[in-house]
């Protein structure tokens, strides 16, 4: 019921935004003014993937449109946790109960870029998708730039699907795979095919990671096995005033409380498969270690992953933990790229290590890693979180990562370069869409290469381009 109420609240404010625009209320761009853009996403939660994506979106938009013409802001749930990110942007606190905030805040901008990867799906939280729809819908209702950037679409509850169809038809959504494009196409939402935006991210150098790993007990020689577990079963998060009241008065639902009025799923139907997954994950690693000398580390790509990492790390005899609540995105991705092998249930755990050609495999809960492995042509490096043969199959996959590293890395390198070019094309699509909305904006002129539509590439990426272009 709370999801329904939240959806109706967002919908009513989008409708009210249409009236506001008709009355001439709100910020309107004029030639000579800086273009004020709001990046709306899931930042300030120490979700490394979400933060990396937005960091690179901002850098790309600056490169495509020119820093001198822009005034950029980004939403953050916790300003302290995103401090030091998103250079030269204004960070704006996003409240947990967001509809009224979006209604007032978006009127101050000339456009919105929705940034969440899982933008159109009910898997994680209808509230998050409603926020994305609200951000895009309010901007579109006010005849402003309204773009979903690097979006994924999947199964949506009926209300969310209806809201998407009604309020995002005036937006452009650049998806990160063809499957998402098909889902949104059936809803009548304009799309272009793009990719994720994390490909161009550059973390701290290897010196940082090697020092941190040595402090954690690494001898400097043993191959490092990175492991990124999650809790795949406690989603979606839903708002509940009843649970909030019981938690406050009687202490119930403490373990399943996310924050504010939002709660994870809980009970035996969550805890039993969660521990079964972690045990199987750990059993597969232990079996591999009997024949292969490796230094395992747990990597928590989001602060929420700490419990999964702690449980599995203890199950493996106590291994070092690198969790995003203590390591920022520059540090954590540096550690990821020093791994010699990686098995991850986090999509961005895989994506962010691919430019370093780390042989990687996925244990997936949804279509994101599945789509990525399809793109790499490496379906055989994919497992499902609820596979009853997870432990045994994982041993085989780890052996394959070890034995076939060269051919796996070749496929990874080709995929990275292909996605860099697709990401450049996203920049072209974005510029073209902006030209339709604001034709008098001072766009660049002259002959441009595809690399001119990307953030400046690191030396590592330049070498990959030279090798695989």
pLDDT digits (tens, 9 = 90+) for 73-99: 999 999 999 999 999 999 999 998 999
Entry pTM:
0.94
pLDDT digits (tens, 9 = 90+) for 349-385: 999 999 999 999 999 998 889 989 999 999 999 999 9
Which stretches of 210-283 are assigned E, i.e. beta strand? 224-228, 238-239, 257-259, 262-263
CATH entry 1.10.260.40 includes domain 206-403: no
CATH code given to domain 2-200: 3.40.50
Q: What is the pLDDT of residue 274?
A: 96
The terminus-to-terminus CA distance of the chain in angstroms comes to: 52
pLDDT digits (tens, 9 = 90+) for 260-313: 888 888 888 999 999 999 999 999 999 999 999 999 999 999 999 999 999 999
Cβ atoms of 342 and 408 closer than 8 Å? no
DSSP tag of 68 = G
For the chain, what are the domain ranges? Answer: 2-200, 206-403
pLDDT digits (tens, 9 = 90+) for 280-294: 999 999 999 999 999
Contacts of 60 (CB under 8 A, 6+ apart): 197, 200, 423, 426, 427, 453, 454, 455
Q: What percentage of the chain reaches a pLDDT higher than 70? A: 100
Q: Which residues pair with 72 in a beta bridge?
A: 37
CA distance 415 to 417: 6
CA distance 297 to 289: 13
- Tell me, yes or no, if the two domains 2-200 and 206-403 fold the same way: yes
């Amino acid at each position: 019921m709370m999801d329904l109420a939240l959806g109706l609240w967002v919908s009513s404010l989008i409708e009210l935004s249409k009236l506001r625009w008709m009355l001439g209320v709100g910020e309107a761009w004029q030639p000579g003014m800086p273009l004020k853009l709001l990046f709306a996403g899931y930042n300030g939660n120490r979700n490394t993937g979400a933060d990396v994506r937005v960091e690179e979106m901002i850098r790309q938009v600056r490169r495509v449109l020119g820093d001198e013409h822009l005034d950029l802001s980004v939403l953050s749930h916790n300003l302290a946790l995103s401090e030091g990110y998103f250079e030269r942007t204004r960070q704006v606190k996003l409240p947990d109960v967001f509809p009224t905030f979006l209604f007032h805040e978006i009127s101050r901008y000339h456009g919105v870029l929705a940034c969440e990867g899982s933008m159109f799906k009910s898997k994680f939280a209808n509230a998050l998708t409603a926020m994305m729809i609200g951000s895009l819908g309010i901007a579109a209702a006010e005849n402003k730039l309204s773009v979903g950037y690097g979006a994924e679409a999947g199964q949506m509850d009926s209300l969310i699907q209806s809201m998407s169809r009604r309020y995002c038809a005036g937006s452009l959504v650049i998806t990160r795979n063809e499957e998402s494009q098909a889902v949104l196409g059936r809803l009548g939402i304009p799309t272009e095919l793009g990719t994720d935006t994390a490909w161009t991210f550059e973390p701290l150098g290897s010196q940082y990671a090697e020092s941190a790993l040595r402090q954690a007990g690494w001898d400097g020689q043993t191959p490092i096995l990175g492991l990124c577990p999650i809790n795949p079963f406690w989603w979606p998060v839903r708002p509940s005033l009843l649970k909030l009241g019981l938690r406050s008065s009687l202490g119930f639902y403490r373990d399943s409380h996310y924050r504010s009025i939002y709660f994870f799923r809980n009970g035996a139907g969550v805890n039993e498969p969660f521990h079964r997954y972690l045990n199987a994950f750990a059993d597969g690693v232990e079996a591999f270690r009997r024949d292969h000398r490796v230094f395992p580390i747990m990597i928590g790509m989001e602060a929420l992953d700490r419990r999964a990492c702690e449980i599995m790390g203890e199950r493996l005899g106590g291994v070092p933990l690198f969790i995003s609540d203590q390591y920022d995105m520059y540090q954590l991705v540096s550690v990821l790229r020093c791994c010699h092998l990686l098995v991850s249930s986090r999509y961005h755990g895989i994506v962010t290590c691919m430019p370093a050609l780390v042989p990687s495999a996925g244990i997936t809960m949804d279509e994101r890693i599945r789509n990525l492995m399809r793109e790499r042509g490496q379906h055989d490096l994919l497992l499902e979180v609820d596979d009853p043969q997870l432990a045994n199959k994982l041993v085989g996959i780890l052996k394959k990562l070890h034995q076939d590293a060269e051919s796996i890395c070749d496929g990874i390198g080709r995929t990275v370069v292909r996605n860099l070019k697709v990401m450049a094309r996203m920049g072209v699509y974005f510029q073209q869409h902006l030209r339709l909305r604001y034709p008098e904006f001072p766009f660049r002129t002259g002959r441009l290469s595809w690399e001119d539509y990307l953030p400046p590439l690191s030396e590592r990426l330049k070498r990959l381009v030279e090798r695989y272009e």
